[in-house]
Structure 1
């Protein structure tokens, strides 16, 4: 069986073709989208999970040999934490969020690992770890889909951003694709191809066009924003070689996660002392707070979790004009609630697509702790990443050398009226159409998988 696999930064989806129809497979109850999250009782149990779920054979044996040290630590963790062989050790999607919210200090929580795959300076053990995280997630999704279908899935087209990282993009892209390929093979896919995500989103949209158009496809994902200027419509739909129809494409590592981080920093971190003063009248250092919420940056999170940061916060508590806020910040760090805070920011972003004001409740930090955010204030706080997104759109248009007939928006953050208004102001009087904000990429990947594998 053939599928399109959207291994997204925020959500994952898997699509199948049935005749002329494309459908997404339910992955969690009736949900066709599984949040890109994993919670493990112990970090090393992720590697153990991958090994246990690989097919018996030479590849599995080679994998186990390459991870022997980690697997030995996993067995030690089982003994020390009294984890039975039949106990569930890994949780995915919404269940992973539930476990993290309940036990933030006890397990290992990973959100949006795709954001890290192209990171520069990763050592071999880091790459091995990300391979294992992605492989575990892919194994889980593939197994869920196969259990639902009653049939094995062997071939897939996986979506990829134009660039995984902005720095040294060629090496970054190569590293990320190698990680995804290794993980996909360990998940049991026999054939794997990749397709740019904005092009995939455009392929899905093209099947619905009644006449030929030049379309700017804008895919605002969780980790990246990708744009493509594409000629599409009935005349192009039947073509096998589409290279001449893609007039320009741009992409950068700026997406919905960056919006969430800005919202968390500007609106929620002041509850923990950001933007307050020290006793000497100087402003509170802000980098500590940005490190706390920059959950898509390995270096920032590592720094925030370090003992040096703990000591620095403890010193700031002595020097602060409002020490109770710093005590709250210190407690939040010790209890590992920073991912929860960014999740609150994401929920506020989603809510403010429909309402003008949203109240963020943070009782898990402290009873009665809350923050009200208005849409206009949100618009101001996300200006830096939004400006990067707008520049990507105009650069794609400039590459093409012509104005689009229409703009096709996809990706979860594309629903925001703040973003829609900014696009209209920057690009002008061009119709903006919505696709399936979460399903367009998976559907387009499925369309392409049918073309290349059949």
Structure 2
């Protein structure tokens, strides 16, 4: 069976064709979107999960040979933790969040692993680990879909950003696509193709328009913002080769996660001493705080978890004019609540799309701890990443040498009126239309999969 697979930074979705239209497959109860999260009782159990769920015997044996040492450690974990052979050790989606919120310092939590793909300076063991994380997630999603459909998924088109990372883009993209291809094969897909995510979103939109237009497709995903200038409409929709219709595309590693990080840093970290002072009168060093909330950067997270950071925080407590705030920060680090804090920032961003203010509750840190955030404050805090997004849109229009007839917006963060207003101010008096902010990419991937595999 043919499907479109949106392996997203924030959410994952699978689309199929049903009665001549696209249908998204429920992945978690009735939810068709599964948060891109994984929680394991131990890191090595992720590799064990992959080994157990590779269907082809020879491929499984090859994988076991490659990961023999890790699989041996996984067996040791099972013995030491007295885990039964059939006991659940990995959790996905909302269940992963639930386990992490309950046991933040006990297991291994991964959010938005797609944002790490293509990273520079990764050693071989890091690449292997990301392969296993992505494979486990794809195996889980594919299995859930097949159980729901009662059919095997064999062919898929997977969405990809224009650029996974900003540094050495060509090498970064090759590394990321290699990981996704390896993961997809180990998950059981026989044929895998890729399609730019903004183009996929545009294909979904194209099915609904009745006259030819030049469309600026803007896909603000969790990890990247991708833009494409595309000729669309009745004269183009049936073409199998659309290369001449794609006038320009731009993309960069800046997305919804970066907005969340800015909100967490600017509005939540002051509760932990970020804007306080030292006894010398100097301001508190801020890099520690940004390392805590930059959850899409492996090196920042590793630095925040290091012994050096622990010792630095203990010294800052002695030097601070408000040591109780640093105590709160130390507690956040020890209990690994930094992901939870960024999740609070994401929730605030979502609420402020419809409301003018939102009170963030942080009772899991300290009883009664909260702060009020306004939409205007949100607007000010996100200016650096928002400016990068606007520049990508302007660049796509400039490359195309033509003004768009319409701007088609997709991606969760595209709902924000702050972002929509900024886009209209930058691009000019062009109608801005909304797609399915979460389902457009999956639907477009499904359309393309049906076109190339049938």
TM-score, normalising length: structure 2: 1.00
Q: Could you tell me which runs of 5 or more consecutive residues in structure 1 were left unpaired when the two chains were aligned.
A: none
**In the alignment, which residue of structure 1 is the partner of 2:202?**
202
Q: Distance in 1 between matches of 2:89 and 2:436?
A: 34
Provide, for residues 332-356 of structure 1, a one-character-per-residue CA deviation record: whole Å limited to 9, x for no partner: 1000000000000000000000000
> Within 5 Å, which residues of 2 pair with 1:173-192?
173-192=173-192
**In the alignment, which residue of structure 2 is the partner of 1:402?**
402
Q: How many residues get paired?
A: 454
**In the alignment, which residue of structure 2 is the partner of 1:318?**
318
Secondary structure in 2 aligned to 1:6? strand
Provide, for residues 254-301 of structure 1, a one-character-per-residue CA deviation record: whole Å limited to 9, x for no partner: 000000000000000000000110001000000000000000000000
Provide, for residues 153-191 of structure 1, a one-character-per-residue CA deviation record: whole Å limited to 9, x for no partner: 000000000000000000000000000000000000000
Q: Distance in 2 between matches of 1:79 and 1:345?
A: 39
Q: Distance in 1 between matches of 2:256 and 2:160?
A: 16
Q: Distance in 2 between matches of 1:179 and 1:90?
A: 20
Q: Distance in 1 between matches of 2:78 and 2:314?
A: 34
The alignment yields a C-alpha RMSD, in angstroms, of 0.5
> Within 5 Å, which residues of 2 pair with 1:335-354?
335-354=335-354
Q: Distance in 2 between matches of 1:8 and 1:45?
A: 23
> Within 5 Å, which residues of 2 pair with 1:176-255?
176-255=176-255
Q: Distance in 1 between matches of 2:115 and 2:27?
A: 22
Provide, for residues 298-331 of structure 1, a one-character-per-residue CA deviation record: whole Å limited to 9, x for no partner: 0000000000000000000000000000000001
Q: Distance in 2 between matches of 1:76 and 1:269?
A: 39
Provide, for residues 47-80 of structure 1, a one-character-per-residue CA deviation record: whole Å limited to 9, x for no partner: 0000000014211111000000000110111111
**In the alignment, which residue of structure 1 is the partner of 2:68?**
68
Provide, for residues 371-419 of structure 1, a one-character-per-residue CA deviation record: whole Å limited to 9, x for no partner: 1100000000000000000000000000000100000000000000000
1:275 aligns with 2:282: no
**In the alignment, which residue of structure 2 is the partner of 1:8?**
8
Secondary structure in 1 aligned to 2:250? strand
Provide, for residues 87-111 of structure 1, a one-character-per-residue CA deviation record: whole Å limited to 9, x for no partner: 1000000000000000000000000
Secondary structure in 2 aligned to 1:235? coil
Secondary structure in 1 aligned to 2:236? helix
Q: Distance in 1 between matches of 2:244 and 2:18?
A: 29
> Within 5 Å, which residues of 2 pair with 1:19-168?
19-168=19-168
- Tell me which moved more, 177-186 or 80-89: 80-89
**In the alignment, which residue of structure 1 is the partner of 2:421?**
421
Q: Could you tell me which runs of 5 or more consecutive residues in structure 2 were left unpaired when the two chains were aligned.
A: none
Q: Distance in 2 between matches of 1:388 and 1:413?
A: 14
Q: CA deviation at 1:439?
A: 0.2
**In the alignment, which residue of structure 1 is the partner of 2:285?**
285
Q: Distance in 1 between matches of 2:314 and 2:113?
A: 30
Q: CA deviation at 1:19?
A: 3.3
**In the alignment, which residue of structure 2 is the partner of 1:453?**
453
Q: Distance in 2 between matches of 1:192 and 1:280?
A: 59
TM-score, normalising length: structure 1: 1.00
Secondary structure in 2 aligned to 1:263? helix
Secondary structure in 2 aligned to 1:321? coil
Q: CA deviation at 1:21?
A: 0.5
